[in-house]
Structure 1
Amino acid sequence: MPGMTRRSLLGASVLAAVGAATGCSSSSSTSNTSSGATGTLDWWDHFSSFKHLNDDWAKKQSGPLKTNVAHTYYDASKATQALQLAHQANKMPDVYSNVVGLPLPALVSGKWVHEVTIPADIKAKLPKDAFNEGITQLDGKLYGFPMFSLRQSSTLVWANKDHWSKAGLDPNNIPKDYGAFKDALGKLKSAGIQPLTLAIGADGGRIRDQVDDMAQAAGFPGYQGLQFTTGEYAYHHDAYVTVIEFLKSLNDDKLIMPGSNNFGVVDARTRYASGAVGTFIDGVWCAGGSKALAPPIVDKLASGQILVPTAGTNPWCYRGRPSSGYFVSADSKNPDAAGQLIASFMTEDYQKGMIEAMDQPPLNLDLVASSNAVDAYKKGIEFCKSNVFLMPQAIVRNPAQARVDALRKPVTPHVGNIVQGYLAGSIKDLKAELKKLSDATSADREQALSKAKAAGAKVSEADYVFTDWKPGQDYGAAK
């Protein structure tokens, strides 16, 4: 998900900007209900695959909640800004998806969220470790709960079966290593097919996430630049350099579609879904997102694992405990109904709808195999089940780290911005730029730790050091 961006509202009032964002944006779509109920409960999210499911669900829930539920979809590259503008104007929707990019402590202190109360029967359906201080709750107050499995990836390889077959390639056996994958792209190009697109543009959030994933698969022993066993930031690690140099080689050889450096997620996915390109690197949710854009693509979907530098390398990735899928905003005039709407997402009907929509997978991945989801989606889920592991987290070890997270600030340029600059040629010394990012991120953590300690928090850099971490397995018990 993209991180929080800070933009000035030059020449326009906040309220005017919010009106434009919510009423006139071509990247958003609103489903209003008219069930005869009174009042309106506004619900915003960025899940393109769930758009029809959520439009229908809003209508179904309007009666039980005794209020009109209005669902609005924003594409991922637009949602963060729309929410930021709404927050500045105190016009937040009652319910919104977790796309802002701030840790829970910062959301609480910044008055983004409202405490949530969920029924006991819903709470009983969730794993015991779904409620974590600093992740889904703070100071014992619950602000949300996970909807999605941690075993997912933003960086699978998606192919168009027709294009790959035309080029003499087997779409059901997508190459796994850099060399073989690049060769396959070359064959697509020789067959007159645009080989590959990526979502490199917008705020760089998606390519940042994908480089983080690919670096793990390339051997980086950590997450988002943070090494598990040392607790040190090392974006300048050889794994990051290897990944970004590989992307540059694809770009230099004109195997990446022109314009990709400016494409947001929907821009790039539209090219793939429409058949304009043979291959797209995207999340496990690509199946549902592509179907939402161009339904005929469904029969042409094929998927492969995250790429690794060398054949035979284990494609292992690591994720933290799932955070909340949705929040109730602090601005909500009806927080009880908003909480009930979020709780309804855990019902069997909605869970089945999530799987059929083929977006992020639900907590119970075992439901996917018997679903009507297409084989390419099921294959992607099976890969993630076997190759995505629970990572160690400072906040789980020491919940007081929530006070540190609340004081962290976005560091820019981040990895995605560095990729943009390096591919465009404005950055010449890649490793030096990555070292600057490591140093800046370390400095930001240090200032946050110092302030938290001064305020009485019992925290230290040692909370980030996990010398007992081992690759290729869950850290602790993943329920």
Structure 2
Amino acid sequence: MGGTGRRPNRRRGVAMRRHQRILGSRPGAGSAGRPSMGRRQFIGGAGAAALAAALAGCTGGGQMSRESGGSSGSLQWWDQFRPLTKMLQDHLFAPYMKEHPGVTIERRQMNVPDLGQALQVGRRSNQMPDVHSLAGLGTSAAALVSQGWFQPIGKLADFQGSPVGEFLYDGMHRFDGEVSSFPLFSGRWHEAVPWFNTAMLKQAGVDPEEEPGTWDKLRDVARRLTKGTDDGVYGIVVPSKETEYLQFLVNRLAMTAGAPGGIDWATGAYAYDAQQYVDAIEFLTALQTDKVVHPASPSMGPRDARARWAAGQAGVYLWGAWFIGGLRVDEPEAVERGVGTWHIPCPETTRNVVYSPPQSGTFWVSSQSKRAKDAAQLMLQMTTREFQARLAAAMDQPPVLTDVVEEAEVHPAYRRCVANFQDDVRIAPAPEVGTPGVWQVLAEMRDIHPNLGDIVQSVLTGSTSDVAGELRRYTDAMSAERERAIKVVREEKGVEVGTEAWVFANWDRKADYDQQAYAER
């Protein structure tokens, strides 16, 4: 999402919706063409006084920090990746400090909302960490670059010549020719993996090896689990308290029905009003009608749902690869009882793939940092195959060097999950990579409500039944907001960019949109 992410536009509930994902990183803003909240809204959010307590948030060990800025002279590192705590300390920080006796590294791990708030306060009070992730900020890296949050690191360490060099993209990791970050994780992933309780399936007479490859078969499995297990046990849990989870989920389900995502790359138009989105939402309502969804789902966030699943209250949970890593840290007994995974189901037996953009940068060096060289050199160590294999062993989002999973010490279900991604996921175009001016449009765009997640939540709670109408209004509003942002960027900043930047005529649905595809566009 444990740690979280990121991230993706599939991205995006507003940060104040308190996204509880605890592992992984979110996709880049280009995945549907906008950040989660506009620049003005982001800067004008909660006041520093109201957020000051965030700077006294929990550390990785759960203790309260004694002072907001950490020890004087130390290199400060803030992130949300709780399952990575031991690995980062033992295999990144400790070796670096041993080789550089004058460097002390202090890491603080926080929940996503707390981290986002702490970063906002830290920037306003000149107490930023040297290195941090973007979790909880609810906006694109491009928007933050435009506000001067970061400093380039490409001249301080050779990221271009590192094992991850081929995964560096303009508009995501490079800005104005300068490398500012790199992808720690792979872009070949999705957050709708069906994770199942092996013991519960066997109790209900369901063969874990027989995949429910269609929506109807998954509904049948959920019904059998609900009826064939103990009272109080349900077939599936769908945490719907947080709209961002619902937005992710419906996007992925719509793709399995044949949608390209929130944008039709052949035309560049927003496509949330496509029939596939209606079908995906109706599939979720059908699960409710079947009475196979855990009844407390409306009050659950993703973390709550994982805890309920781990407690044996639900048999299936659609979430990301980081699910099992989080279980191993917080509910290891659930892993011991048995956990498995399937391919993401499609509406029919015909398989459609899902699309994710290239993975955006994970860690960034603050423009306030006085230790940028040490920070960059430390981050460079994360690009080695050795570190990537250790990252895979934490079973978070798959590492950017995905092939190391085969040699890493991981649970068989995680290995299978990552292997399934190779079948099920293709890398989508990212407009900000193809046209430099797009990131300025993304930075200018304001949040639209109700967004996709809001609409899904309203349908599931019975607040609205006009699914097609709500999706059409959202699509129209997104289109109008993009047009407005383009006009502002063109007229006020002199940037030549138009809606054609979202058109990728050479996009092949069955292939990755790679560096060569951008060059041949």
Q: Give TM-score, length-normalised by structure 1.
A: 0.90
Is residue 212 of structure 2 the alignment partner of residue 179 of structure 1? Answer: no
Is residue 85 of structure 2 the alignment partner of residue 75 of structure 1? Answer: no
Counterpart contact for 2:458–2:464, Cα < 8 Å: yes
Counterpart contact for 2:486–2:498, Cα < 8 Å: yes
The two structures, once aligned, show a CA RMSD in angstroms of: 2.8
Give the Å deviation of 1:354.
0.5
Aligned to 1:308, the other structure's residue is in SS state coil
- 2:28 aligned partner: none
- 2:73 aligned partner: 39
Question: For the structure 1 residues 448 and 50, does the alpha-carbon distance in structure 2 shift closer, same or farther, using more than 3 Å as the test?
Answer: same
Is residue 509 of structure 2 the alignment partner of residue 474 of structure 1? Answer: no
Give the one of 57, 64, 84 matched to 1:50.
84
Counterpart contact for 1:369–1:378, Cα < 8 Å: yes
CA distance in 2, matches of 1:412, 1:14: 25
Give the Å deviation of 1:407.
1.3
Counterpart contact for 2:57–2:64, Cα < 8 Å: no
Q: Deviations over 1:414-464 (max 9, x none)?
A: 211211121111123111111121111111111111112112212111121
Is residue 252 of structure 2 the alignment partner of residue 218 of structure 1? Answer: no
Aligned to 2:432, the other structure's residue is in SS state helix
Letter in 1 for 2:74: T
- 1:374 aligned partner: 411
Letter in 2 for 1:58: F
Counterpart contact for 1:31–1:70, Cα < 8 Å: no
Counterpart contact for 2:182–2:361, Cα < 8 Å: yes
Counterpart contact for 1:389–1:474, Cα < 8 Å: yes
Counterpart contact for 2:78–2:108, Cα < 8 Å: yes
Is residue 418 of structure 2 the alignment partner of residue 408 of structure 1? Answer: no
- 2:15 aligned partner: 5
Aligned to 2:450, the other structure's residue is in SS state coil
- 2:357 aligned partner: 320
- 1:448 aligned partner: 485
Question: For the structure 1 residues 210 and 75, does the alpha-carbon distance in structure 2 shift closer, same or farther, using more than 3 Å as the test?
Answer: farther
Larger deviation, residues 293-302 vs 191-200: 191-200
Counterpart contact for 1:17–1:85, Cα < 8 Å: yes
Larger deviation, residues 380-389 vs 157-166: 380-389
- 1:465 aligned partner: 503
- 1:359 aligned partner: 396
Give the Å deviation of 1:302.
0.1
Give the one of 54, 68, 82 matched to 1:21.
54
Q: How does 1:48-447 map to 2 (within 5 A)?
A: 48-56=82-90, 57-65=92-100, 66-76=102-112, 78-99=114-135, 100-117=137-154, 122-190=159-227, 191-192=229-230, 193-202=233-242, 204-221=243-260, 223=261, 225-299=262-336, 300-310=338-348, 312-447=349-484
Aligned to 1:72, the other structure's residue is in SS state strand
Give the Å deviation of 1:143.
1.2
Aligned to 1:44, the other structure's residue is in SS state strand
Give the Å deviation of 1:184.
0.8
Aligned to 1:345, the other structure's residue is in SS state helix
Counterpart contact for 2:240–2:298, Cα < 8 Å: yes
Give the Å deviation of 1:235.
0.8
Give the Å deviation of 1:111.
3.0
Question: For the structure 1 residues 54 and 413, does the alpha-carbon distance in structure 2 shift closer, same or farther, using more than 3 Å as the test?
Answer: farther
Letter in 1 for 2:500: A
CA distance in 2, matches of 1:443, 1:387: 32
Q: Deviations over 1:293-333 (max 9, x none)?
A: 111222311001112112x1214011222211111123334
Question: For the structure 1 residues 82 and 251, does the alpha-carbon distance in structure 2 shift closer, same or farther, using more than 3 Å as the test?
Answer: farther
Letter in 2 for 1:83: L
Counterpart contact for 1:303–1:380, Cα < 8 Å: yes
Counterpart contact for 2:388–2:401, Cα < 8 Å: no
Give the Å deviation of 1:478.
7.2
Letter in 1 for 2:107: H
Give the Å deviation of 1:243.
0.7
Counterpart contact for 1:54–1:71, Cα < 8 Å: no
Give the Å deviation of 1:61.
3.4
Counterpart contact for 1:27–1:78, Cα < 8 Å: no
Counterpart contact for 1:200–1:264, Cα < 8 Å: yes
Give the Å deviation of 1:9.
12
Counterpart contact for 2:146–2:440, Cα < 8 Å: no
Aligned to 2:223, the other structure's residue is in SS state helix
CA distance in 2, matches of 1:325, 1:253: 40
Q: 5+ residue gaps in structure 1?
A: none
CA distance in 2, matches of 1:344, 1:31: 29
Letter in 2 for 1:5: A
Larger deviation, residues 469-478 vs 325-334: 469-478
Q: Give TM-score, length-normalised by structure 2.
A: 0.83
Counterpart contact for 2:154–2:160, Cα < 8 Å: no
Question: For the structure 1 residues 317 and 186, does the alpha-carbon distance in structure 2 shift closer, same or farther, using more than 3 Å as the test?
Answer: same
Aligned to 2:182, the other structure's residue is in SS state coil
Q: Deviations over 1:178-214 (max 9, x none)?
A: 1111111111111222221233223x22221221111
- Between the aligned residues of both structures, percent identity stands at 29
Counterpart contact for 1:32–1:69, Cα < 8 Å: no
CA distance in 1, matches of 2:392, 2:196: 21
Letter in 2 for 1:301: V
